[in-house]
Chains A and B, each alone.
Chain A
Amino acid sequence: MPAEIDLQDVHLKFRVRQANRLSLKEYLVRGLFRSSANPVMDVHALRGVTLHVTEGERLGIIGHNGAGKSTLLKVIAGVYAPTSGHRRVTGRVCSLFDIMIGFEMEASGWDNIRFRGYLQGETPRTIREKIDDIAAFSELGRFLDMPLKYYSSGMLVRLAFSIASATEPEVLLIDEALGAGDKNFRAKARERMAGLMQSARLMVLISHDLKAISELCTSVVWMQQGQIRMCGAPAAVIEEYGEAMTARSPVGAV
């Protein structure tokens, strides 16, 4: 079955509390004698997004901070369920979002390779085949025997990227995970990313690096306030976006 992403009129709405805590006092007082000290904020993060990405395409998503790019990617990944509309994604999805989260800090590097591997759908047999390559790519050596809480941030990035990129995705979703680690490691990481992008049947990439977007993507979507403002060939969309960037633009989609 060909890899495909199909979103039809997708809306995503959610409510957040400003301090994001609801205590017993708050629960009892709300709606009684006085207005809440912790009001709810309605967020309409995606407004009627329709998108169709077919096999072989490499879609870039650009836009201001808070435009809904990461939210859209998480809806595609299945992390957020649409409030309304239709979502269908066909193919094995690999998400490279915030690769630094989801570590077990008390466990060793070797254990975390296994945990993250299993989270990405690997089995003990497939992890056994890959674990040495992952360890070699990270260049962490005997540090892999130590708990992650003793790692520097650079070491965590090396480990995270090594694990996350040791996969064979059909649908590859990347949220600004191109920059990783120190200068030496970054060159290796770019090469690995290029290989991943080549092997994936379909890719969606979020980045503020417009040069990378224009080089890597076959089409580009410009998100603004939860909606698709423009969709088309990379050169045309990036040019329009560049001109609009000089204008003042509100952040977020509330």
Chain B
Amino acid sequence: MRGQLATVWNYRHFWLSLAGMDLRVRYRRSILGIGWSLLNPIVMTVVFCIAFASWLGNGDWRSAAPFYLCGLAVWEFIKHSAVQGSLTFARNESYIRQSPLPLVVYTLRTVLGTSLHCAISLVVAIAAAAILNRDSHATPFLAMGAVLPAAILLALFGWAVTTLFAAANVFFHDTQHLAEVGFGIGFFLTPIIYPKERLIERGLGFVSDFNPAGIFLDVIRDPILTGQVPSMVSFERSFGLTIVAVALALVVLSRCERRVIFHL
């Protein structure tokens, strides 16, 4: 394990440069370029404000917009970690066939890209909360301080999800398609376009409590919107979920690493 970590560090220029190239190539011919990473969540938020803001109670778009922006940032990160992550080993097949680098290097390439887009979306959400909710006690600096450790946990959880889906897709090629369908359903079971209270009212609060996206929304969205540190219970849930996911990913990776190349 220590040897693998040393190798990952020694070859950091390789996977960092590929992750950088992925970002440049993604928007190579577009006029807005990386601006699409900003525009995408903003446009979706505008649509949600128009269509669903009344579900939030007061219907005021100034409080609705940061709510949707935060929810989308977290949700899209977890979804892309799974759906794009599924293709990690297939995408890097040519490198895997000629170099004995640990497979974790390729998962880091994927996670770096998805994490950057999530970071951009979260910064937009925090800025929106600070600008639109001037009268609340939330300040950007307080929000950032409360969000940072949760964001680190989310990034680790995203790596675990990428690894698990990448390994599954090698042996079971429908994984990516099942993930797309699953996340399409999961979107409506997660309090992204409606508050968590709507689930609790219907006795379905457990759906959010056991939903990984719901767990991270509690520790990331709440401090941004209210400026208050989340409860210890929420932090413990996100911490525990991350530890379990990372441990599972490490076990799966160590068990299947030697066999992946024969299934590509």
Contact = CB atoms under 8 A, between A and B. Distances in A.
B and A form one assembly: yes
Interface of A: 14-16, 20-24, 27, 77-81, 95, 97-98, 101-104, 106-107, 111, 114-115, 118-119, 121-124
Given A21-B173, A23-B174, A107-B21, A101 B28 contact: no
Contacts of B28: 106
17 contacts: A14-B259, A22-B172, A27-B172, A79-B99, A98-B97, A101-B94, A102-B94, A107-B25, A111-B17, A111-B21, A115-B14, A118-B11, A119-B99, A121-B10, A121-B11, A123-B13, A124-B13
Interface of B: 10-11, 13-14, 17-18, 21, 25, 28, 94-101, 171-174, 178, 258-259, 261-263
Given A22-B173, A107-B25, A114 B99 contact: no
B98 A79 contact: yes
A184 B21 CA distance: 33
A22 B28 CA distance: 35
A24 B178 contact: yes
A202 B192 CA distance: 60
A24 to B, nearest CB: 5
Contact of A97 (B14, B98, B258): B98
A234 B20 CA distance: 48
Nearest to A103: B94
Given A14-B259, A24-B178, A115 B18 contact: yes
B21 A104 contact: yes
Contacts of B100: 77-79
A118 B16 CA distance: 10
Nearest to B95: A102
Given A78-B100, A114-B17, A119 B174 contact: no
A22 B172 CA distance: 5
A23 B171 CA distance: 9
A152 B247 CA distance: 46
B174 A79 contact: no
Interface centre among B98, B101, B171, B261 (most CB of A within 10 A): B98
B172 A115 contact: no
Given A14-B262, A23-B173, A106-B25, A115 B17 contact: yes
A119 B262 contact: no
Contacts of B171: 22
A24 B174 contact: yes
A32 to B, nearest CB: 16
Given A118-B13, A118-B14, A124-B13, A102 B21 contact: no
Contact of B98 (A101, A104, A118, A124): A101
A52 B25 CA distance: 46
B150 to A, nearest CB: 32
A230 to B, nearest CB: 28
A46 B157 CA distance: 39
A95 B262 contact: no
Contacts of A97: 97-98
A180 to B, nearest CB: 16
A102 B98 contact: yes
A118 B173 contact: no
A14 B174 CA distance: 22
Nearest to A13: B262
A16 B171 CA distance: 11
A115 B18 CA distance: 7
Contacts of B98: 79, 95, 97-98, 101-102
A122 B13 CA distance: 8
B14 to A, nearest CB: 4
Contacts of B95: 102, 119
Given A98-B97, A98-B98, A118-B13, 10 more contacts: A22-B171, A22-B172, A22-B173, A27-B172, A79-B100, A95-B98, A102-B94, A102-B99, A104-B21, A118-B11
A102 B258 CA distance: 20
A115 B21 contact: yes
A103 B95 CA distance: 9
A95 B99 CA distance: 8
B13 to A, nearest CB: 4
Contacts of A101: 94, 97-98
Given A27-B172, A106-B28, A79 B97 contact: yes
A15 B11 contact: no
